[in-house]
């Protein structure tokens, strides 16, 4: 602090307070930095009047936008109203001391008490409380628990967590995860709030010091061991301290727990790992400017604010990380990012945006389920009926051309992935997608011949159109396009029209029903109507008001020239039910599905048998990928 502020603080503080608080202060731009490493009270402004006195004293002559307290590996940030209250207390103390020394001293240690005393009096003191803002801030503050509630985080971390539950929040649910993290969902009246308590949220002083020292050893390159390096660094520090004391300290977290925390913040994705340990959490949104906005999450069908923030340093680290992992630019020249990563064994798609398209860097993380979805699993959760699933299965197995349509978040990619195991085990499959979302690796692990082609979005890399053309040269078989959205549609449909592939062609496209898909593919993407006519089925998914993802309709293409379609399954009666076209034998699709020499009766029998198999698999819980691929091999 400067000389004037230091002198005033020294005059106002008592000898007893000076002995109790050992915090030191300095300014870093508009931030007041408080070093509490040697302070027994650890600079906890909510509970320590002595530490409050040190901080407010430093603010008697100079304002700050943020007060950052650093205490042996733990960092507390006081911002917004909390910082404003401390600044107002400093202004009040500096102004009122000429009139009333006792009240100025009280403002340093007990700003809320000083505000109440001042506003209860008439005259100049009350005016000073109003003019400095202390009266208004204290009036809406409640107690110190809420008025000076900090954002808390480890000094090694790029994340900060708001302390305590939301004011006046009703606890609805507690979620505990195997990772040691806990989440609580509160009803605040206006919305629900997702409050995360990550592993290590309330570290002891010795544990925080261990992490800080171990972190520095990793940063200095003093510990080898790859993925095991964080745990080894922690073990070294713990053993050295135990040796110095002559005994081990068993009062805090274990070495594996501390190692997991250190790994999370050095090698991992920080508190994204804690959030995605919730199996019901599908999305995390980081809104620009990130340090000023709490993260939002989607759990089930609800989007909720959280108590978690990403620091500016964390934003920069993520931008650098995904730029490196994706191999694509992410800057003012290339202000959007589309990448993929793995967090807590879940495949996560990462979308990013930066200036000039946004006021800073923002991210959206969407996680896929840990388990690969299959048709029996979709039958089990009522996305499909067994009979509708049987039709799709047979269409894929027998080389049909199918588009899966629907809005964002309806489950298009999930259904597309569930159809891939239905391809004959002898069929070679080429998958074209810009971000890896389809279960290529799990299928390869089950012995399937699946080749992935990654589509890039930047100049000089493999375009979607080139990828489709390349896929057609990589072997005769099935072709899967993760999302049809550009000029690749023309190449894809031209190949389909001339019979360049011998097996199924599958893809997803945005659209609400077959007619909307036709407009999208023909009018927007430039595919000739005659080429669109080779499409056999359009499957439309929807997301209900309750957040349920389900198939709304399965339509066959009757005539691509005039956009003529007919539903073979729809929800006119509420359930996904057949319309009767297949039962009556007048579905155009029957020609595609029938094998040489197969009668209509044989085809109906094949559909009935497949319906029974899928229903039995769903009822028996044989819905995992291994069981489905085994069944498909046996059937082939």
Q: How far is CA 292 from CA 193, 221, 288, 315, in A?
A: 17, 33, 8, 12
Other CB atoms closer than 10 Å to residue 324's CB: what's the count? 11
Q: According to the CATH classification, is domain 283-368 in 1.10.1200.10?
A: no
pLDDT number for residue 84 = 95
Ordered DSSP codes for 448-475:
--EEEEEPP-STTS--HHHHHHHHHHS-
Which fold is adopted by the domain 400-587? Rossmann fold (3.40.50)
Same fold for the domain at 283-368 and the one at 400-587?
no
If one compares 315 and 227, the residue with the highest pLDDT of the two is 315
Q: Is the peptide bond before 80 cis (omega within 30 degrees of 0)?
A: no
Q: Looking at the whole model, is its pTM more than 0.75?
A: no
Residue 201 vs residue 377, higher pLDDT: 377
Q: Give the residue from 412, 198, 185, 169 showing the smallest Cα distance to 299.
A: 185
Q: Kindly tell me if the per-residue pLDDT of 12 is higher than 60.
A: no
For residues 267 and 227, the answer to whether their CB atoms sit within 8 Å is yes
pLDDT, tens digit, 9 for 90 and up, residues 580-591: 999 998 888 888
Rounded to the nearest integer, the mean pLDDT of the chain is 87
Q: How confident is the model at residue 460 (pLDDT cuts 50, 70, 90)?
A: very low
- The model's pLDDT over 287-308, given as tens digits with 9 standing for 90+, comes to 999 988 999 999 987 899 999 9
- Higher-confidence residue: 484 or 495? 484
- Cβ atoms of residues 520 and 510 within 8 Å: yes
Q: Of all residues in the chain, what percent carry a pLDDT higher than 90?
A: 52
Domain boundaries, the chain: 3-154, 168-267, 283-368, 400-587
Which SS3 state, helix, strand or coil, does residue 438 take? coil
Q: What is the dihedral of CA 508, 510, 516, 517, to 10 degrees?
A: -30
What pLDDT band is residue 3 in, cutting at 50, 70 and 90? very low
Under DSSP, is residue 506 helix (H, G, I), strand (E, B) or coil? Answer: strand
Q: What is the pLDDT of residues 420-459, one digit of tens each?
A: 999 999 998 988 887 778 888 899 999 999 988 877 655 4
Q: Where are the alpha helices (DSSP H) in 474-521?
A: 488-498, 514-518
577: pLDDT strictly greater than 90: yes
Q: Distances from the Cα of 297 to the Cαs of 15, 185, 361, 399, 444, in angstroms?
A: 49, 12, 17, 40, 32
- Tokens in use for 526? 């430039």
Mean pLDDT of 394-417: 92
Supply 111's token pair.
């700003």
504 CB-near residues (< 8 Å, 6+ apart):
395, 396, 397, 398, 399, 400, 401, 402, 423, 478, 479
For residue 14, the model assigns a pLDDT of 47
Cα 20 from Cα 41, distance rounded (Å):
8
The three-point CA angle 336-273-68 to 5° equals 85
Closest by CA to 68, choosing from 22, 18, 110, 30, is 30
| 474-494: average pLDDT | 81
599 CB-near residues (< 8 Å, 6+ apart)? none
Helix (H, G, I), strand (E, B) or coil at 47: coil
Residue 521: CA count within 13 A, CB half-sphere:
37
- In terms of Cα–Cα distance, which of 39, 48, 33 is closest to 19? 39
With H, G, I as helix, E, B as strand and everything else as coil, classify residue 15.
helix
The answer, yes or no, to whether residue 593 has pLDDT greater than 70, is: yes
Write b or e for each residue in 110-126: b if 16 or more Cβ atoms lie within 10 A of its Cβ, otherwise e: bbbebbebbbeeeeebe
Give the DSSP per-residue string, 50-102: HHHHHHHHHTSS---SEEEEEETTEEEEE-HHHHHHHHHHHHHHHHHTTT-HH
Asked if 514 contacts 535 with a C-beta cutoff of 8 angstroms, the reply is no
- How far, in Å, CA of 557 to CA of 528, rounded? 14
Distance of alpha carbon 110 from alpha carbon 47, whole angstroms: 11
d(CA 486, CA 482): 12
* 400, 537 contact by CB (below 8 A): yes
């Amino acid at each position: 602090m400067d000389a004037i502020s230091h002198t005033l603080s020294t005059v106002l503080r008592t000898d007893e307070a000076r002995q109790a608080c050992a915090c030191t202060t300095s300014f870093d731009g508009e931030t007041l930095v408080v070093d509490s490493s040697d302070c027994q009270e650890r600079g906890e402004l909510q509970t320590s009047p002595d530490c409050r006195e040190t901080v407010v004293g430093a603010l008697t002559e100079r304002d700050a936008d943020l007060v950052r307290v650093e205490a042996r590996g733990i960092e507390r940030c006081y911002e917004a109203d909390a910082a404003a209250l401390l600044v107002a207390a400093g202004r009040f103390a500096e102004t009122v001391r000429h009139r009333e020394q006792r009240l100025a001293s009280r403002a340093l240690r007990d700003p809320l008490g000083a505000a109440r005393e001042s506003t209860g009096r008439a005259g100049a003191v009350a005016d000073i409380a109003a003019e400095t803002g202390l009266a208004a801030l204290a009036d809406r503050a409640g107690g110190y628990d809420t008025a000076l509630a900090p954002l808390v985080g480890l000094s090694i971390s790029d994340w900060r967590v708001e302390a305590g539950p939301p004011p006046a929040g009703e606890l609805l649910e507690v979620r505990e995860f195997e990772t040691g993290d806990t989440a609580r969902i509160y009803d605040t009246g206006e919305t629900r709030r997702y409050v995360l308590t990550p592993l290590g949220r309330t570290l002891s002083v010795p544990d925080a010091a261990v992490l800080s020292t171990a972190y520095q050893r990793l940063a200095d390159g003093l510990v080898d061991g790859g993925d095991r390096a964080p745990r080894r660094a922690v073990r070294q520090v713990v053993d050295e301290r135990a040796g110095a004391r002559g005994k081990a300290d068993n009062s805090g977290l274990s070495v594996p727990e501390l190692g997991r925390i250190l790994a999370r913040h050095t090698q991992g994705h920080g508190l994204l790992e804690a959030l995605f340990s919730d199996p019901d959490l599908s999305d995390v949104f980081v809104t620009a400017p990130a340090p000023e906005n709490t993260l939002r999450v989607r759990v089930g069908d609800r989007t909720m604010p959280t108590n978690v923030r990403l620091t500016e340093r964390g934003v920069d680290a993520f931008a650098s990380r995904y730029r490196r992992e994706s191999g694509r630019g992410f800057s003012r020249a290339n202000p959007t990012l589309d990448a993929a990563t793995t967090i807590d064994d879940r495949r996560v798609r990462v979308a990013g945006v930066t200036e000039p398209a946004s006021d800073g860097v923002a991210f959206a993380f969407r996680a896929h389920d840990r388990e690969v979805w299959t048709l029996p699993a979709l039958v089990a959760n009522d996305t499909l009926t067994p009979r509708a699933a049987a039709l799709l299965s047979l269409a894929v197995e027998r080389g049909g051309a199918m588009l899966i349509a629907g809005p964002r978040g309806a489950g298009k990619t999930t259904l597309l992935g569930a159809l891939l195991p239905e391809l004959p085990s002898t069929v070679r499959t080429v998958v074209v997608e810009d971000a890896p979302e389809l279960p290529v690796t799990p299928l390869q692990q089950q012995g399937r011949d699946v080749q992935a082609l990654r589509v890039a979005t930047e100049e000089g890399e493999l375009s979607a159109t080139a990828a489709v053309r390349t896929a057609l040269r990589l072997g005769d078989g099935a072709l899967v396009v993760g999302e049809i959205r550009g000029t690749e549609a023309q190449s894809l449909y031209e190949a389909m029209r001339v019979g360049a592939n011998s097996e199924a062609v599958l893809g997803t496209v945005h659209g609400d029903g077959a007619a909307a898909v036709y407009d999208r593919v023909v009018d927007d993407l430039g595919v000739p109507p005659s080429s669109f006519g080779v499409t056999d089925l359009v499957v439309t998914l929807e997301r209900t008001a309750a957040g349920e993802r389900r198939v709304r309709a399965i339509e066959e293409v009757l005539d691509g020239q005039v956009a003529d379609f007919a539903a073979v399954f729809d929800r006119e009666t509420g359930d996904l039910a057949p319309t009767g076209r297949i039962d009556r034998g007048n579905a155009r699709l029957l020609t595609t599905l029938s094998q040489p020499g197969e009668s209509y009766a044989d085809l109906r029998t094949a559909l009935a048998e497949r319906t029974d198999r899928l229903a039995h698999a769903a009822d028996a819980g044989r819905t995992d990928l291994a069981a489905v691929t085994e069944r498909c091999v046996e059937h082939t």
